[in-house]
Chain A
Amino acid sequence: MSETMVRVSNVYKSYVRGKQKVEVLHGLTIEIPKGDFVALMGPSGSGKTTLLNLIGGLDRPTSGEILVGGQRIDQLSGNALAKWRARNVGFVFQFYNLMPVLTAERNIELPLLLTDLSAAQRRKSVAVALEVVGLADRAGHKPKELSGGQEQRVAIARALVSDPTILICDEPTGDLDRKTADEILGLLQVLNREHGKTIVLVTHDPKAAEFARRTLHLEKGQLLEQAAA
């Protein structure tokens, strides 16, 4: 785990809400090695999701540098950043955010429409992703026909299907019961340990954080301490 996957250096991030400027991150510096599984914890408003958005290339810092997989992403243009996300990042959200009009397999196939893969190759990749998350038998079901846990598994499969270098998970178990949450977290753990995926997980749940290799605590936009799992 010596190679650095994410390097956040002296990052500041502020938003303008109405007439107010809100400072969220204050000179934050974090390094995440390749193959790590990091849980980000902290109270609401501490900047967890903001940090996650910056690492995932969904937002840009006000100042500071962000390198992911050796690429300086804070300087990329909007289109370049979109293409970078497609190649390098898989996202998992609290409310799954699946396309309700598409079946599970079509949802998983969606990111592959941005690749040069043929239809047959895409089908094969989707089948593998479904197998990994244990939902091969629900491929033809639409999100509303699946349980919350199954929906989240589909979302994880969608995040995995393009073989990203890093998985960004924002409260992925926040909407699930304990048992299902543990199953999902166990799946993430497998992806990290057996498939070598670097995972950054935001959570409020200390039990969820226990599945990570280490936990970083944020408060008021700054790193508090680091705890190894």
Chain B
Amino acid sequence: MTRSGFVFANLLRKKTRTVLTLLSVVTAFLLFGLLQAVNVMFSAGADFVGATRLVTQARVSFTQSLPMRLLPEIEAVPGVEQVMWQQWFGAVWQENTQLFFFATDPARLHAVYPEYVMPDQQWKAFEETRTGMIVGRILADKYGWRIGDKVPIASNIFPQKNGSKAWIFDLVGIYDGKDEEWQRNTNLGWINHAYFDEATLFGTGLAGTFTLKLSNPDQAAQIAHTIDSKFENSPDETKTQTEKDSNLGFFKQIGDIGLIVRWILFAVFFTLLLVVGNTIAQSVRERIPELAILKTLGFTDGNVLGFVLAEAAAMCVIGGLLGLGLATLIGIKIGGGGNFPIAVDHRVWITGVLAIVGLSLAVGLLPALRASRLSIVDALAGR
């Protein structure tokens, strides 16, 4: 027998209670892992893009389009290396599956987003095929699309000139991300703006946003200010911001995800604190004479503190790791597709492990201190 063996033997003293408590820890950390992954995903939309790009949108809201005539003026701003535009297509797949599709200029997309990796011949095909579209790997895999497919995509915003909202595009390319992080964002589709602009019933000559690639990231603030000043007091006032802020602004339409997640996690962990804390405290109360015997045998106050703390930590560590492991598996299962691919990655695990340590101390320290301080004589006498 080892000291850790003794700790585990005590943990299994009341198996039902231990299993139920363990399940509550597993559930809490499963929830933690998934919610934290959601949180990371939302901030990842902001994190992985640096300030090497700026996004110019209508000052009022990104839902309001800007005229294409702003393009040359934006391009003329010193420090702007390349400009692409994108128009939200409002794509719907089959019955009612919303997809993230944008109309853009293929060559400019390629120039501004080198992170999207695709063979040159597919980029070329995208440029040359007016009805062409490209999609990210996640989307292609999810719907089983292959190059050469004719894909019917409806738009819930833009009908064609013949009044039909059903569009058909030729899939000419499937792109990947340059790394794991960008790969998780290959859930978008792109169509050729020239074709869209020609075929749409309304909304011609408009861009939802302009994305600017900068020659020097240090000039980002200055360039944003220059652009917005240029269109100030015009009918098309702009708001130029980093891609990160632009993405955050988009997601904040849903709500303050971070705050929602934090409140849910606070509630979960507060409840967990009470449940596990009470279990450990009760377990110590039940064992006062046994703890006194440990001290009688020569175990020091520190030894006894260590035993109780180790029990609390074992419960939290086992439950926490199982919960995070399950969350990771679920993340892999559901994170492979969709518009919000979540991944329980190293950032979630680091936060999770810190939470496990914090929880262990929070639930174990007080009972452990109580156990370490108990008087042998009083405890043996049942006082």
| A residues with CB within 8 A of B | 53, 56, 58-59, 78-79, 82-87, 91, 93, 97, 99-102, 106, 109-111, 113-114, 119, 122, 158
Q: Which residues of A contact B12 (CB under 8 A)?
A: 101
Q: Is the CB of B300 within 8 A of A82?
A: yes
Q: Is the CB of A58 within 8 A of B376?
A: yes
Which B342-383 residues have C-beta < 8 A from chain A?
Answer: 376-377, 380
Determine if B178 is an interface residue (Cβ-Cβ < 8 Å).
no
Which B186-202 residues have C-beta < 8 A from chain A?
Answer: none
Q: Is the CB of B300 within 8 A of A91?
A: no
Q: Is the CB of A91 within 8 A of B297?
A: yes
Q: Is the CB of B376 within 8 A of A59?
A: yes
Q: Is the CB of B376 within 8 A of A99?
A: no
26 A-B residue pairings within 8 Å (CB atoms): A53-B376, A58-B377, A58-B380, A59-B376, A79-B301, A83-B300, A85-B296, A85-B297, A86-B297, A86-B299, A97-B380, A99-B9, A99-B290, A101-B13, A102-B1, A102-B9, A106-B1, A106-B6, A106-B9, A110-B294, A111-B298, A113-B1, A113-B2, A113-B3, A114-B298, A114-B303
Q: Is the CB of B380 within 8 A of A93?
A: yes
Interface centre among B290, B298, B303, B380 (most CB of A within 10 A): B298
Chain B residues within 8 Å of chain A by Cβ, number: 24
Nearest CB in chain A to that of B295: its residue: A82
Determine if B10 is an interface residue (Cβ-Cβ < 8 Å).
yes
Q: Which residues of B contact A119 (CB under 8 A)?
A: 2
Which B253-294 residues have C-beta < 8 A from chain A?
Answer: 289-290, 293-294
Q: Which residues of A contact B3 (CB under 8 A)?
A: 113
Given contacts A59-B377, A97-B293, is CB(A78)–CB(B300) below 8 Å?
Answer: yes
Q: Is the CB of B290 within 8 A of A82?
A: no
Given contacts A93-B380, A99-B290, is CB(A114)–CB(B1) below 8 Å?
Answer: no
Q: Which residues of B contact A53 (CB under 8 A)?
A: 376-377
Nearest CB in chain A to that of B377: its residue: A59
Q: Is the CB of A97 within 8 A of B290?
A: yes
Complex Cα gap A79–B1 (Å)? 23
Interface centre among A86, A113, A114 (most CB of B within 10 A): A113
Nearest-Cβ distance from residue B17 to partner chain A, whole angstroms: 13
Given contacts A97-B293, A102-B1, A110-B6, is CB(A83)–CB(B298) below 8 Å?
Answer: yes
Determine if B152 is an interface residue (Cβ-Cβ < 8 Å).
no
Among B2, B9, B295, B302, point to the contact of A101 (Cβ < 8 A).
B9
Nearest-Cβ distance from residue A22 to partner chain B, whole angstroms: 13
Q: Which residues of B contact A86 (CB under 8 A)?
A: 297-299
Closest 3 CB pairs of A and B: A86-B298, A101-B9, A82-B300
Q: Which residues of B contact A97 (CB under 8 A)?
A: 289-290, 293, 296, 380
Q: Which residues of A contact B295 (CB under 8 A)?
A: 82
Secondary structure type dominating chain A contacts:
helix
Q: Is the CB of A113 within 8 A of B301?
A: no
Complex Cα gap A93–B297 (Å)? 12
Nearest-Cβ distance from residue B288 to partner chain A, whole angstroms: 12
Complex Cα gap A100–B9 (Å)? 10
Which B56-76 residues have C-beta < 8 A from chain A?
Answer: none
Nearest-Cβ distance from residue B159 to partner chain A, whole angstroms: 73
Nearest-Cβ distance from residue A183 to partner chain B, whole angstroms: 23
Q: Is the CB of A102 within 8 A of B377?
A: no
Nearest-Cβ distance from residue B298 to partner chain A, whole angstroms: 2
Q: Which residues of A contact B2 (CB under 8 A)?
A: 113, 119
Nearest-Cβ distance from residue A137 to partner chain B, whole angstroms: 20
Which B4-24 residues have C-beta < 8 A from chain A?
Answer: 6, 9-10, 12-13
Given contacts A85-B298, A113-B6, is CB(A100)–CB(B13) below 8 Å?
Answer: yes
Nearest-Cβ distance from residue B147 to partner chain A, whole angstroms: 64
Known: A99-B293, A109-B1, A113-B3. 7 other contacts (CB 8 A): A59-B376, A79-B301, A99-B9, A99-B290, A102-B9, A110-B1, A113-B1
Given contacts A97-B293, A99-B290, A106-B1, is CB(A79)–CB(B298) below 8 Å?
Answer: no
Nearest-Cβ distance from residue B287 to partner chain A, whole angstroms: 9
Among A79, A84, A111, point to the contact of B302 (Cβ < 8 A).
A79
Interface centre among A84, A101, A102 (most CB of B within 10 A): A101
Nearest-Cβ distance from residue B14 to partner chain A, whole angstroms: 10
Complex Cα gap A115–B114 (Å)? 65
Complex Cα gap A100–B290 (Å)? 9
Q: Which residues of B contact A87 (CB under 8 A)?
A: 298
Q: Which residues of A contact B301 (CB under 8 A)?
A: 78-79, 82
Among A56, A79, A100, A113, point to the contact of B300 (Cβ < 8 A).
A79
Nearest-Cβ distance from residue B8 to partner chain A, whole angstroms: 9
Given contacts A97-B289, A101-B9, A102-B6, is CB(A111)–CB(B376) below 8 Å?
Answer: no
